[in-house]
Amino acid sequence: MTARGSGPLGVFDSGLGGLTVVRALRLALPSEPIIYLGDTARVPYGTRSAETVVRYARGCARLLIDRGIKALVVACNTVSAVALELLRAELDLPVIGVVEPGARTAVRAVEGQLGGTRVPRIGVLGTAGTVASGAYPRAVAQISTRYEVVALAAPLLVPLVEEGWLEGEVPRLVVRRYVEPLIDAGASVLVLGCTHYPLLGHLIAEEAERLAGRPIPVVDSAAATADAVREWTLEDRIPTAPEGIAGLELLVTDRPQTFAAVASRFLGEDVPEVSLVDLSPG
């Protein structure tokens, strides 16, 4: 496949969570311009059927391609889980998702545990759609068949993050409820299989350590995905932009002011103006 010219990297998610990937991309590739689309009119994707997620994903990709992107970063675990292969087959540009990079990092984290009496287990927290798709067990099996994956849907974590409820008794208890079965099942690494979860990563790591009685590595697929995009630029699979601090354009399908108000927490920087776009017919 030939990569496109010198446009921005296109990144999309169902809403805010994908900004954690944008943040990691801006750290890893500061001279790459980025155009981000959050489909805030139709979030959440994680509770919808695969057919609906595919339809939404096609619409998001089309809008970004019409704006001249050179590569597409699918910063949504649910879309990466159910629609990535299809997008890759349909689109004439490089497409990177978040599941493969997260799975690779998780495997690296447990590699050192081989040789013990138990098969190392990789725990995954994700949306209902991601878990039902079996994408993480498949991605891990493609890397190595020596590991088992235990995946659990954690539906309450997305609304907690959307509400900005990141500290205190309530999120901690919810996190504990989701982490406990994975630790009980023998998980020795936890993958944050949803773009929202890195904002609760500190609580997830603390609760995992408390339950396991030792530190449990927590894999943030945002950082792993940014590393994968950088690798693709180094391998010339994605053309690089000239040196310099690059721009960031933010697009949403609903409520730009609300998005702008919370986006800086995800991005870790002041946010530029957020523009409203129309994806209909969806």
Q: Annotated catalytic sites, by residue?
A: 76, 194
Binding mask 181-210 for ligand DGL (x = CB under 6 A): -------------xxx--------------
Nearer to ligand DGL, 194 or 208 (CB): 194
Q: How far is the CB of 89 from ligand DGL (least distance, A)?
A: 21
105 binds ligand DGL per the rule CB under 6 A? no
Q: How far is the CB of 210 from ligand DGL (least distance, A)?
A: 25
Burial class (CB in 10 A: 0-12, 13-18, 19+), 93: buried
76 binds ligand DGL per the rule CB under 6 A? yes
Q: How far is the CB of 79 from ligand DGL (least distance, A)?
A: 7
β-pairing, 248-252 vs 274-276, is parallel
Distance of CA 137 to the CA centre of its chain: 16
127 binds ligand DGL per the rule CB under 6 A? yes
User: Of 44, 120, 123, 137, which one interacts with ligand DGL (CB under 6 A)?
Assistant: 44
Nearer to ligand DGL, 140 or 241 (CB): 140
State phi, psi for 10 to the nearest 5 degrees: -100, 130
Rounded Cα distance, 13 and 17, in Å: 7
Strand partners, 124: 151, 191
281: cis peptide before it, omega within 30°?
yes
Q: Which stretch binds ligand DGL (CB under 6 A): 56-64, 72-80, 167-175, 241-249?
A: 72-80
User: Of 20, 24, 25, 77, which one interacts with ligand DGL (CB under 6 A)?
Assistant: 77
Q: Which residues contact 143 (CB under 8 A, 6 or more apart)?
A: 103, 104, 107
Burial class (CB in 10 A: 0-12, 13-18, 19+), 253: buried
User: Of 20, 40, 105, 130, which one interacts with ligand DGL (CB under 6 A)?
Assistant: 130
Strand partners, 11: 36, 73
Q: How far is the CB of 119 from ligand DGL (least distance, A)?
A: 27
Nearer to ligand DGL, 69 or 99 (CB): 99
Handedness of CA 95, 127, 193, 227 (dihedral sign): positive
43 binds ligand DGL per the rule CB under 6 A? yes
Residues of this chain that bind ligand DGL (CB under 6 A): 13-15, 17, 43-46, 76-78, 127, 130, 158, 194-196
